[in-house]
Amino acid sequence: MSVVASRVASGGPSGTRVWLAACTTDMHKGFTGLSALAQSALASSPFCGHIFVFCGRRGDLLKVLCWDGTGLCLMAKRLERGRFIWPQTQGGRVSRSWRVRAKQLGKSSAAHT
């Protein structure tokens, strides 16, 4: 799995990163499956305080996994209409860098360069 890292735009502790899984993810996975994906892709513990975001094949469902200091949190967002804009990999690498602003979280667009 390829990933894209971005600093949290606002609202997160200093040094918190948001990791986007830049490939489609099986949305049947829960805490255990998504934690294993985060750990195997990043060689980092899902309990480190970073935020891991996964997108389904259809592009209308996101799952967010994060550690809040007391336990893992798993949140989901499903769009009634439209799809999330998601980075695609080419040969295992992400072809462009992505910046997500705080006001864009929960919306179906992101700034890219």
What's the chain's length in residues? 113
Tokens 């799995």 correspond to what residue? Answer: 1
What is the rounded average pLDDT of the residues 68-94?
81
What is the rounded average pLDDT of the residues 53-81?
91
H helices, E strands: number in the chain: 1, 9
Return the number of other C-beta atoms located less than 10 Å from residue 101's C-beta. 11
pLDDT for position 95: 46
CA dist list (Å): 83 to 15, 45, 72, 73, 88? 29, 29, 26, 23, 14
In tens, the pLDDT along 24-63 reads: 788 999 999 999 888 887 666 888 888 888 888 888 999 9
pTM: 0.69
The structural domains of the chain, with segments of one domain joined by +, span 3-107
